Structure 1
């Protein structure tokens, strides 16, 4: 237990976790930017408060707490299936009998059974049907009460057999399933040793009093779904590091449902707009449409996103108003924020100022670039100590969208910021860097004088001076691009001496919730530079993490002109680092032409919204490829009957089925066709829908599905 009374040892702890509350609280001060300290943000309270409201449905709350939510089955399923209460469907669609044929056939079958029974009962067919009764009963029973009882039993069995036989012939069970049975009976409550509300794992570990404390909180409603997920996360860390068992038990005994709290002390979001299941980490975004293009097993099933699929990264493409932000980005950010409160994830959401992505209270850090009321700064160099590493990320942000290879730009930057750091102990701020890149004689002379005793740094400056004399020097372009950040609105940002703590994506080793608001309206080009900078810094930080127990995700609500060649290569590597990115685009035209195909190939999850342009649809169609399908060509020829009996049979068939007697010739062929063609994606996706394909981090693949995002 920490000295302030909070149980933070497991604040960022998982199966492989090594970070504690000290590191998490430290992140609130510098946020991963070494050497750029500042006053910590609001510290976690000594006693974390209870949630202001019970979790929204289906997570429970009120009488009985979250017990029904915990007991709901969550069977294993394919990626993207909403597992909460999921009932698997058959792989193939059963042959559906029309209602008219179904009821007519049932009526005829039952009348036929009644007719046969009448003939047997009245001995119109003789008493041969009674011979098993005489065979199985002794002769001495004749005329006795025992024979009368045996006779009634035998007749009842024959009647029941006839009823069952003709009911099956008439498809009566299908009528029952289709029109009578409305729902399945609820499953019985699990036994105590398997009831998650009783915390059986803790009881099995000898912590009966701890389990009883949590079970009481679970049933009373004091423990919410975030609390359950957070304590389960801490218990997983205990199973990996048994020496922490005593600290875990003491914390639960002392704080109950508030134990193992998030460093902020918050136990729930102020408001939820989506349906979440924190047992599986899923957020529901829609329902697979009951459409012939969807596999029958997936129709009408819920569709959800979770870290297992977001770990392969997701790209969502659709015009403005198609629902990208409201139907996908907002639920994903909300889900990741909840999982961060459960010490399972870290999220950095980048959006335009004024976008209704989530309220400020849902985040630990809100960076408003270019706004004087912003409480946090951005680290221009991503918390890097190495000049070459810092130069590579900054070059990616400044010119990655203009040049196919930013290595020359990174070299030019390193030749300046390396000597500057050696002379001053920190990297240059934006104004100083602009002067150096612009070749200011005073700035370069001062820097040369500051490193006069360091031959290695002088060689770097000499090399930069020689390159500056070339006509194709990359420094000119770098100076032009850095000028977009050297504006009065950004004077206090990027190391401008504003005195506020600096945020860097290096802090994603802690369960942080961060939102960065970009000034797209007044500074569109600067916003794109910052977005590219955050993407480069995030991928670098995610791949360099020592502790990868937290799922880290960067969400770009508008990734216009953000994707570069280096970022595409980095995105491909994120799935092995337990991290991913979510990119939203209005059109693939906002990505350089040479990168459109590689980008769709680098991400594992692809989403095309209604209203997609045909040329964008062509890219998706090419990526999703083709499949083999069976086509059936049916030729019907009416049968003309000549005999009276045949005519009568044909008339009876027409009465039952509503169709004339025909002879069918069926030709079955297998043809290869696109899963979704460019025309289908451009014109066949209804409003409020999207076509989504998913890939899990272990390689599981879901073919593109038509998803109704409104349900």
Structure 2
């Protein structure tokens, strides 16, 4: 693979010389007029000054010109040198090279191509080498083992997801003879449908937007513009994201309407869903229910609290395999930002309730039970003590229960605050969306319990969409988003099997960024996981979190219209670059006598500019790659500036991208 971030199926980078020509800002009529005028003068000089040259040379070397065995060679060499001198002098003033590259070469190429098509005769084309897409299976399957697969491939019923999934399966079982035999049997019997995704899906419905390269697991974002701020090696190439770049996480900032969801979040969600179908990734997409993050058919699990059609709920304790860690994630999600300093007390209060309850009942408490216990309701505590005594664990948790009871009713009791926050999730609209005991009733009616998605299932190639009820229940949506993101960061960073890339996409991350999430982002790089966070503005975050967030991510993306104070952080993160700055002082040249002044006048007519004397001073200085004012005022619509860092530390410099191309 080439440079990091370069889309393998896109165009190659242009050469620096072609870049210089492309950057030349000269109108066509002026260029052609100047070129023609210089050609006319060069022809005139050739016709009328050549005899003068002959006479001058005949006077200097008369013997060589009058006779001898090589008398014809010397005039030929003299004429060639004279023509070369005229071409160099007048071609430079007339910019003939630029005329040829801009106009002549395309015309010649077109004419040559047309002539080749007109003179072509219908002959049998030379057979092109055919690349066998199943060459890795060919030597293992035996005679007839790939018959069905070859038939489906010839009929066009095999997609890139099938190809990538089967090759991925072969990589996993190649060193295990029993598994390899089972795979080959499945391919022989089911063809391209072998080793399918658990959902039975072999492609995404409505997939037609972004361009993907599943072989390299890339998704194309846009093309790097041909501007001086972009390094020459990247100008004109297509930029793409892959797990090696997403593994350092990506932060995108831009106002609403600038295309963050359309140009970044949706293509990235689509790419990760395709990788999940091919068995190489697991993806969790968090965003508002009405956000354009792809149709629901893209996902295996859709958690949509407040939507009667939702078929899954969210496990409040599903972010960790140890209950204490799961409780910590829940406490962090429940506290509002202004009460983050009380996070440790909130964690302790929850653990003092959840851990004894789980020991007594064999399961953590449901949502409503947890609210009652945190409020200190006498009936709930009596039931818990009785159950703990019956299970024989009362003595083990006596101290925790006593501490929690002593805190009930005190001014600084975090339990009451946690219960109030949890009550935002205990609403009829969210019935069955969170943990509850079996057979729990409300107003005499049994409450349905939806299957709960637990975030520690990141070991499987799942596609998960968490649709937040931002418009109907904004504070509850904030809690759910914080809980889902916190659970993902912990589960992805602590999982044992890291063969799947775990990707997180958060459409609006203003509610989920806190001290704990920033620390979690830093752990993802070595865990084969990454997060993409979208923000409208950095002012939605506490000032103490902005700089640590920029340091925790390896990719940064600025969209048009960001505020100057937001652009300042991008400018500081992207740093400076050394450039050669030239100070040129020009003044009209008035020196010399009549002959020199006459020559300057003729040159002014030919070159289109007056002769000047120049005083050039060159110095090496540091300049911002992108200044805050450039990012705030200069970026055009449909564009963005993107910098990336690969997991191995290889950087991709800030590039101006055209996201519409």
TM-score, normalised by the number of residues in structure 1: 0.78
Aligned with residue 477 of structure 1, among 402, 414, 417 = 417
Report whether the alignment pairs 1:83 with 2:8.
Answer: yes
Q: Is the 8 A contact 1:400 1:565 kept in 2?
A: no
For structure 1, which runs of at least 5 residues remain unmatched after alignment?
Answer: 1-74, 137-150
Show the counterpart of 1:143: none
Pairwise mapping of residues 300-699 of structure 1 onto structure 2 (< 5 A)?
300-382=236-318, 384-399=320-335, 401=337, 402-404=339-341, 406-452=343-389, 453-454=392-393, 455-468=395-408, 470-496=410-436, 497=438, 498-699=448-649
Query: 1:609–1:690: 8 Å Cα contact kept in structure 2?
Result: yes
Summarize the Cα distance change of 1:663–1:392 in structure 2 as closer, same or farther, 3 Å threshold: same
Q: What residue in structure 2 maps to residue 234 of structure 1?
A: 169
Deviation at 1:603, TM superposition (A): 0.9
What whole-Å deviation, never above 9, does each CA across 1:500-559 have from its counterpart, x for those lacking one? 321122222111111111111111111111101011111111112222111111111111
Q: TM-score, normalised by structure 2?
A: 0.84
Asked whether the 8 Å contact 2:10–2:237 carries over to 1, the reply is no
Report if aligned partners of 1:119, 1:125 keep a CA contact under 8 Å in 2.
no
Report matched runs for 1:45-56 at 5 Å.
none
1:252 to 162, 177, 187: 187
8 A Cα contact 1:368 1:518, kept in partner: yes
Count of residues paired in the alignment = 618
Q: How does 1:107-118 map to 2 (within 5 A)?
A: 107=39, 111=43
Distance of 2:50 and 2:424 partners within structure 1: 96
Distance 1:672 1:202, change over 3 A: same
Note the C-alpha offset of 1:160: 9.0
Alpha-carbon offset, residue 111 of structure 1: 3.5
Alignment of 1:136-147 (within 5 A): none
Deviates further, 451-460 or 526-535: 451-460
SS where residue 349 of structure 1 aligns? strand
- Paired residue for 1:264, among 199, 211, 220? 199
Which moved further from structure 2: 631-640 or 399-408?
399-408
Distance 1:641 1:472 in 2: 89
1:314 offset after TM fit, Å? 1.1
Cα deviation, residue 353, structure 1: 1.5
Shift of 1:255: 3.3
In structure 2, the CA distance between the partners of 1:673 and 1:117, relative to structure 1 (3 Å rule), is closer
Cα distance 1:198–1:323, how it changes in 2: closer, same or farther (>3 A)?
closer
Residue 321 of structure 1: CA displacement?
A: 0.8
Q: Could you say if the C-alpha distance between residues 313 and 106 of structure 1 is closer, same or farther in structure 2, counting changes exceeding 3 Å?
A: farther
How far 1:361 sits from its partner (Å)? Answer: 1.3
Please list the CA deviations of residues 537-590 of structure 1 after superposition, one character each: whole Å capped at 9, or x if unmatched.
Answer: 111111122221111111111112211111110111101111111111111122
For 1:503 and 1:159, how far apart are their aligned partners in 2?
Answer: 86
The alpha-carbon distance between structure 1 residues 210 and 677, as it changes in their structure 2 partners (threshold 3 A), is farther
C-alpha separation between the residues in 1 aligned to 2:504 and 2:246? 10
Task: Name 1:47's counterpart in structure 2.
Answer: none
Match of 1:177 among 69, 76, 101: 101
CA gap 1:206/1:256 in 2 versus in 1, 3 angstroms: closer
Distance 2:159 2:189 in 1: 17
User: Counterpart of 2:239 in 1: which secondary structure?
Assistant: strand
Q: Alpha-carbon deviation of 1:703?
A: 2.4
The alignment yields a C-alpha RMSD, in angstroms, of: 3.7
Distance 1:653 1:619 in 2: 51
Q: Which residue of 2 aligns with 1:705?
A: 655
Give deviations 1:620-650, integer Å, cap 9, x for gaps: 2232233333222111111125434323432
2:225·2:656 contact (CA, 8 Å) conserved in 1? Answer: yes
Contact 1:231/1:259 (8 A) holds in 2: yes
SS at match of 2:406: helix
What is the CA–CA distance in structure 2 between the aligned matches of 1:205 and 1:326, rounded to whole Å? 44
SS, match of residue 509 in structure 1: coil
Residues 308-342 of structure 1, C-alpha deviations (whole Å, 9 max, x = no match): 21111111111111111111111111111111111
**Contact 2:588–2:613 at 8 Å: present in 1 too?**
yes
In structure 2, distance between residues paired with 1:159 and 1:239: 72
Structure 1 residue 105, shift from structure 2 partner: 8.8
Q: Distance in 2 between matches of 1:626 and 1:688?
A: 25
Cα pair distance change 1:177/1:531, threshold 3 Å: same
Structure 2 unaligned blocks of 5 or more = 114-124, 439-447
Aligned to 2:121: none
Give the Cα–Cα distance (whole angstroms) in 2 for the partners of residues 248 and 270 of structure 1.
Answer: 27
d(CA) in 2 for partners of 1:161 and 1:242?
A: 75
- Preserved CA contact (<8 Å) 1:120 1:129: no
Per the alignment, residue 58 of structure 1 pairs with none
Q: Distance in 2 between matches of 1:709 and 1:462?
A: 60
Change (3 A) 1:530 1:257: same
Q: How far apart, in 2, do the equivalents of 1:240 and 1:639 lie?
A: 80
Higher helix share: 2
